[in-house]
């Protein structure tokens, strides 16, 4: 089994059996601009602490998977120009070359599950891309095989959301609306796609996840939280920017792991500050809901 490295805070939380919430670092290394990325990472950790849980920020340092990061670790990832994006298959590459890496949803939940941490907060998951011959994020297959509660604002709005939702159904990943019966669209509150399950509070979310895993199903549970009203973008405005960004992706022949960061960066530039505000607002909100759900799950077990 791979050796995991823990921060002192996470190690003592595990020993004392306190509720923990995992966080990703691809959003730091391949998402937000510096220094907003570092500030946001700390702000998410603090929201989790305020709610009575312990943050476990995951990343790869010198080729080793790290659960829980010190301030200087996050800064190092944010400033390293050769940092790689670590999805589930990339831990080996990072280890072989002793590289630093920002972990995606797939990478992060893989490490969290090994560490025995059940709750994770992120912005949006990867999924099925639009009009590409074939581009499906490893996030989806990893969600199918990793029993972690993932709190997010749906899938990233650059994706084919109906196809992503259908794939999650195929892969036996329950998609649950948090105080909504509509699938959120990351920057905006609804994609118009209807979900078959919703919960009203963290206790209900925790009970649902527990019931899922008690059936012996080893997949994730996706708890989808719409972005806060005051930060959300109108769907039409966002879709215009997405269409433009998709055109540019084809023009510049962007492929592989670069597609998602490229699209997100362009949408962010095209919509100006509004999408950045929405992104930050929803990330903090998801961290809060995740912490409350981790506390509830802890009380149930």
Chain contacts with ligand PSU (rule: CB under 6 A): 24, 26-27, 30-31, 87, 104-105, 123, 126, 137-139, 257, 260-261, 264
CB of 249 to Mn ion, least distance (A): 11
Listed in sequence order, the DSSP H helices in 189-272 are 202-214, 235-251, 259-270
CB atoms within 10 A of CB 231: 19
Residue 65 CA to chain centroid, in angstroms?
17
Question: What's the rounded Cα separation, in Å, for the pair 268 and 27?
Answer: 13
The interface region with Mn ion, picked from 65-73, 99-107, 130-138, 205-213 by CB under 5 A, is 130-138
Query: DSSP for 154-190?
Result: BB-TTB-HHHHHHHHHHTT--EEEES-SB--BTTBS-
In the bound state, the residue with its beta carbon closest to ligand PSU is: 31
Active site residue 24: yes
Q: Which does 88 bind (CB under 5 to 8 A by kind): Mn ion, ligand PSU, none?
A: none
> Looking at beta carbons only, is 29 or 292 nearer to ligand PSU?
29
The interface region with Mn ion, picked from 134-142, 157-165, 199-207, 236-244 by CB under 5 A, is 134-142
Q: Which of 41, 107, 106, 48 is nearest to 79 (CA)?
A: 41
Q: Which does 289 bind (CB under 5 to 8 A by kind): ligand PSU, Mn ion, none?
A: none
**Which of 9, 73, 80, 135 touches Mn ion (CB under 5 A)?**
135
Q: 201: Cβ–Cβ under 8 A, 6 or more apart, which residues? A: none
CB of 31 to ligand PSU, least distance (A): 2
Task: Exactly one of 8, 85, 156, 210 is catalytic; name it.
Answer: 156
Q: Which does 286 bind (CB under 5 to 8 A by kind): Mn ion, ligand PSU, none?
A: none
Question: What's the rounded Cα separation, in Å, for the pair 112 and 122?
Answer: 13
CB of 263 to ligand PSU, least distance (A): 9
Query: Are residues 197 and 169 in contact, defined by beta-carbon separation less than 8 angstroms?
Result: no
Query: Does position 163 bind Mn ion by CB under 5 A?
Result: no
CB atoms within 10 A of CB 236: 8
CB of 83 to ligand PSU, least distance (A): 12
Q: Which of 210, 132, 134, 222 is nearest to 171 (CA)?
A: 222
Task: Exactly one of 8, 16, 24, 214 is catalytic; name it.
Answer: 24
CB atoms within 10 A of CB 273: 8
CB of 258 to Mn ion, least distance (A): 9
> Looking at beta carbons only, is 40 or 209 nearer to ligand PSU?
40
Please list the active-site residues.
Answer: 24, 156
């Amino acid at each position: 089994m791979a050796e995991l490295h823990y921060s002192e805070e996470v190690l003592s939380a595990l020993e004392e059996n306190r509720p923990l919430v995992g966080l990703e670092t691809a959003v730091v290394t391949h998402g937000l601009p510096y220094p907003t990325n570092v500030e946001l990472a700390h702000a998410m950790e603090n929201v989790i602490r305020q709610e009575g849980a312990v943050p476990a920020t995951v990343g790869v340092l010198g080729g080793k998977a790290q659960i829980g990061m010190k301030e200087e670790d996050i800064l190092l990832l944010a400033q390293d120009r050769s940092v790689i994006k670590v999805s589930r298959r990339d831990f080996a590459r990072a280890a072989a070359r002793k590289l630093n890496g920002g972990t995606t949803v797939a990478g992060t939940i893989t490490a969290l599950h090994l560490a025995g941490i059940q709750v994770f907060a992120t912005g949006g998951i990867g999924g099925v891309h639009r009009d590409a011959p074939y581009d499906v994020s490893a996030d989806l297959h990893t969600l199918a095989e990793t029993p972690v509660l993932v709190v997010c604002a749906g899938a990233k709005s650059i994706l084919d959301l109906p196809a992503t939702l259908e794939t999650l159904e195929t892969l036996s990943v329950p998609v649950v609306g948090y105080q909504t019966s509509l699938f959120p669209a990351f920057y905006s509150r609804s994609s118009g796609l209807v979900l078959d399950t919703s919960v009203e509070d963290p206790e209900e979310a925790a009970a649902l996840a527990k019931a899922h895993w008690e059936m012996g199903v080893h997949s994730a549970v996706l708890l989808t939280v719409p972005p806060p009203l005051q930060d959300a973008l109108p769907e039409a405005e966002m879709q215009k920017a997405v269409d433009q960004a998709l055109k540019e992706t084809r023009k510049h022949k962007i492929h592989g792991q670069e597609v998602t960061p490229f699209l997100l960066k362009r949408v962010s530039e095209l919509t100006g500050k509004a999408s950045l505000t929405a992104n930050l607002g929803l990330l903090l909100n998801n961290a809060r809901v995740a912490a409350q759900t981790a506390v509830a799950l802890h009380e149930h077990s």
